[in-house]
Structure 1
């Protein structure tokens, strides 16, 4: 992955001045962005970096992005500091004007050799969809002129960000998806379990190798869905010097329970809750019914139309309900209804099906199951006794 990013940096293609690295929640985007920044810094090619963090007083504020980048660039280009001294109000101007005056114009004057890279990670964690799009449109505007800068942007594949790149920046960017890799996760787990065995040698002295067994390792790799967030959560939970690693692994595998109500997946659960909490409260009852179908019935294959027919929703309702969940769900476009909706992470299904973990987002409540059962029986009635009303002309299951 880092070699691919370096090849992008080394390329002279004027149509690839922006690289968008995208992937679902927990895919490792920030880890890649940090490693890429360190490599650029070692080569003297890092202009500046900004890592957004949702809810942080400064790192969650998009209005501070270009001022922070300019501050970092001022080490190389003193003209930036002088410009702010001459006109302090520049920090209160539009993002486009800040980018042009504080960053682009000084760089055009002082940078003559290889371009510098500006790294922006976690754009989706910037507060406000509008300002996220404004940041991208501002970058797209300035790179249409000769400028010795390139921009690396990493984010979740949120629909509004994807649409901005697709329709607003199509001529200036290339994109790279973080594909799932079960083999990489397996290598990571094997290496970490070997480390745990060494580090906890006092409590592991009588535990025979291989530990864990190949069957357990296979289950953990499968549960990861090929992404690192699950695997790293497992390792962090087991790597606790106050407990035996074998006992902590038994808790992960469901063979034992915790004694102090400590959840092994607390960090993972907080990630899911944070994403789901962005959905408006009024829209959650419908969302939970849709998620219940995806989790419980989706193994047979669920498309937008299947779910809408089963729940007797209007065409397009499923797409709208899931629009904010593209970081945890694979949601095909509405015009590609032959494609099925899937979970990015198998662990999301476990989360949604466990009331102690998902709380308000539990999809197995009696109310939800009764409603779906009623809809399934109604579908069977249509198939047996006649056609359903309106557009619900078949139910695939």
Structure 2
């Protein structure tokens, strides 16, 4: 079979011009005695071309690819939905000359970020510009940390050019420990340097290389330090080098990405990144309306219930109720569709269950179970992170969160307090509310609202359904905090604050917002003195208690109805001290002050004009 052949190798076997076959063992081949020799540099490491790439294949997360079978039927944007934001993203991806080569898209939990990433991935793949994808998932151990992201991206980039693949393979063979090193080192070794070699040693135009690198769910990568390491490595390795990639990252607006993009103080990505904020910039109401109607009609068309196949189903008024309840968030709409699509019952009946559903103890129907699992998971992680900080360990995360929620909802005499003022009521440092919700930014934030006197910081829920979750013991289960428990807690904090209040002019408390609003809050949370406990009454009455009141009254911002409520509270306190606690002397000590305050308040009550009166 080797007759006439010479000067070639067959898997390391060399054929010389005399037709001798050299394998170094002087053995017979096909019955012929031949002289053979082995080249040690060839057989010492068999199949070197494949070895480095095989090592890489063992390190990738195949489940993280946009077209992975493990992600079969992934969420993506419905036809005619999210048109504006999809167009903006694709324009950015295709604009190779734009100075910002990083796009960060943040949005509330389940605000269709992953659906957008999937849609963009498919469009880029169809246009031959998709370089790589990586979809993080906290539930999948192969794609919930950083160990596989660089190998997975390098693998996909290498698939586009055999020469680039060869440079990546050589980098691995030159450093077999590369996968134990930092993400930045891996990026430099397996992406940056191989790509530079590929460009410099070939006639390829880097502008023709598929440029889109898409990373979804940064918040699902375990550990804030790991998230920060990935972002900083992308900046230092991919953005700071002259590479053609356009990198698109989607994440909930949690601390790591917020701090990197924050304009004040300037985050390290603030200048480098183009930032799309789904929750703030894009109104998805019309998209959600189309999505609900189309999906529900499709479910009806496949149902055995003739009511569901009727052209009049679903009723537009029911769709509008669901649109309003969704409050601009696709997660609610997607949860409704999933519940209605259950094949073993009528979609008409299940849709009506959703439209009419209100949580009741012992209720079997759980149309929002998927949402509740989501909210419970986010709350659990936020609670653990908050209470792990030593200065927060004595604080009840759920109780504080619920207190701010009830304050936000104006449930106590239809009054709400600015967030920093409310922190003071709770004896917390200024800005404590931001620390409280720092890991809940996918569900709520504190927004600035200008009032006629100052900027007002107020809690804002991205999901109305999350506020409903907090209100429902049936849904929240172990995360539920009763409203009465909150009122009792806040009232005790206000009483303790008044007792600690210093009349010294140089005191840190004196002159604060506390002295302007504490008495008003006491009126509200004590239900005009009726909810005060006996020990609280005695604590307020002893020592300088009434002098503190007397100092605060002229400076207190009382809405006009509350002025009358304040006088009513003083009468209730005097009556309870005398009759209930058998302390007539303490009650009598209050009388002179009561007369003085009445003289201040009653003329103000008689005045016409502004809704807000301040004494002094």
Q: TM-score, normalized by length of structure 2?
A: 0.59
Alignment of 1:1-397 (within 5 A): 1-13=85-97, 15-76=99-160, 77-78=164-165, 79-110=167-198, 112-115=206-209, 116-142=211-237, 143-166=239-262, 167-178=267-278, 179-200=282-303, 202-205=304-307, 209-254=311-356, 261-278=364-381, 279-280=383-384, 281=387, 282=393, 283-284=396-397, 285-295=399-409, 297=411, 303-332=418-447, 337-364=455-482, 366-372=484-490, 379-381=520-522, 386=549
Counterpart-to-counterpart distance in 2, 1:11 and 1:21: 17
Q: In the TM superposition, what is the alpha-carbon distance from 1:219 to its structure 2 partner?
A: 1.3
CA distance in 2, matches of 1:255, 1:286: 28
* Distance in 2 (alpha carbons) for counterparts of 1:123 and 1:44: 25
**What SS does the aligned partner of 1:168 have?**
coil
* Corresponding residue SS for 1:25: coil
> For residues 315 and 368 of structure 1, what CA distance do their matches in structure 2 show?
20
> In structure 2, what is the Cα distance between the partners aligned to 1:257 and 1:317?
32
Which structure has the greater CA radius of gyration?
2
CA offset digits 1:100-157 (Å, max 9, x no partner):
1101122223352235221110001101101111111111112112112221100011
Other structure's SS at 2:275 match? strand
**Partner-residue secondary structure (3-state), 1:180:** coil
The Cα shift of 1:197 comes to 2.1
Q: Secondary structure at 1:62's aligned position in 2?
A: coil
Q: In angstroms, what is the RMSD of aligned CA positions?
A: 3.1
Question: 1:332 aligns to what SS in structure 2?
Answer: strand
Provide the C-alpha distance between the structure 2 equivalents of 1:19 and 1:267, rounded to a whole number of angstroms: 30
Q: 1:157 to 1:395 in 2, by over 3 A?
A: farther
Query: Is the Cα contact below 8 Å between 1:107 and 1:148 reproduced in 2?
Result: no
Change (3 A) 1:191 1:352: same
Residue 344 of structure 2 aligns to a residue in which SS?
coil
Of stretches 276-285 and 122-131 in structure 1, the one that deviates more from structure 2 is 276-285
CA–CA separation in structure 1 for the residues paired with 2:142 and 2:551: 54
- TM-score, length-scaled by structure 1: 0.89
Structure 1 alignment gaps of length 5 or more? none
- Superposed displacement of residue 393, structure 1: 6.1
8 Å CA contact retained: 1:2, 1:36 = yes
- Conserved? CA contact 2:301–2:308, under 8 Å: no
SS of equivalent residue, structure 2 residue 364: coil
CA contact (8 A) 2:325 2:465 kept: yes
What is the distance in 2 between the residues matched to 1:169 and 1:363? 39
- Alignment coverage as a number of residue pairs: 394
Aligned-residue offset at 1:236: 0.6
**RCO greater where, 1 or 2, for CA within 8 Å and sep 6 or more?**
1
Q: Secondary structure at the match of 2:335?
A: helix
1:354-382 deviations in Å (ceiling 9; x for gaps): 11211122133542243356669963546
Kept in 1, the 8 Å contact 2:359–2:475? The answer is no
**Contact 2:437/2:445, CA 8 A, preserved across alignment:** no
Q: For 1:200-245, what per-residue CA distance to the aligned partner results, in whole angstroms no more than 9, with x for missing partners?
A: 1x21348865323332221110110111100010011011121111
Quick check: 1:124–1:132 contact (8 Å CA) kept in 2? Answer: yes
Q: Distance in 2 between matches of 1:333 and 1:114?
A: 45
Gaps of at least 5 residues in structure 2 are 1-84, 200-205, 388-392, 495-516, 529-545, 563-616
Residue 261 (structure 1) shift: 2.8
